[in-house]
Amino acid sequence: MTSDLARRGGSVTLEYTRLVRSDTMQLVPYEDLVIVYITPNTKNGDVIQMDRRGHMGEHGGPTGNLLCHVVIVDEISNSQNRQQHNPTGASYHTNPSPPQSENVLPKNGIMTLPITISEAVLGGRVAMNTPMGRVMLVIPPTSSSGKQLRIRGKGVEGSDLIVELKIVIPKNIDEESQRLIEEFARRNPIVPNR
């Protein structure tokens, strides 16, 4: 995150891999999204705990907590730049690339925003970075992949930013979830693009 976000507080959307139980009770990797709320004056190295958002326990054990270690990107870059110009000849590392979530340079004026199935169906609020700062984007209910939303004044040099939604599907879906999806499809029949 940036030092400005750490100072003011806000939220960060984090994509991570956790272990969840399949229908056979085996632990399998699952790509998940969580909104991490940042309290004002958060410091580099702080740890934010998200209850019950970690790996599920083996043999039916309880779900663990997710521990998020705070890294303030611009503070690290400034520190390493000072090391790079240190006249004592101390060793240093080149500046690391910022995390993917901090990459806010749109391609052709369009940014892609991953959302969950529930956010697509029910709508929601998703925090995201833009070239002009962090915003909270409202996702309208029943939003399909490819739907484009316009954020005025948040593109490069204050231009309008187009955000294209991309629905992310879990890699592993248990039997009960499949049954619910089948029931959803039966209750809401559509024939897209035909």
Query: Position of tokens 């309880």?
Result: 62
> Which residues lie below 8 Å from residue 192, measured CB to CB, with a gap of 6+?
none
Q: Is the dihedral of CA 112, 115, 121, 127 positive or negative?
A: negative
* CATH number of this structure's domain 104-194: 2.60.260.20
* CATH number of this structure's domain 1-102: 2.60.260.20
Q: Where in the sequence of the chain do the CATH 2.60.260.20 domains occur?
A: 1-102, 104-194
Angle ∠(153,167,118) on CA atoms, nearest 5 = 100
pLDDT truncated to tens, each residue of the chain (194 aa)?
Answer: 788 888 888 888 777 888 888 777 788 888 777 888 888 899 888 889 988 888 888 877 888 898 888 888 765 445 444 444 443 333 223 233 233 334 455 666 788 889 888 888 888 888 888 877 778 888 888 899 899 988 888 887 778 888 899 998 888 888 888 888 889 888 988 877 65
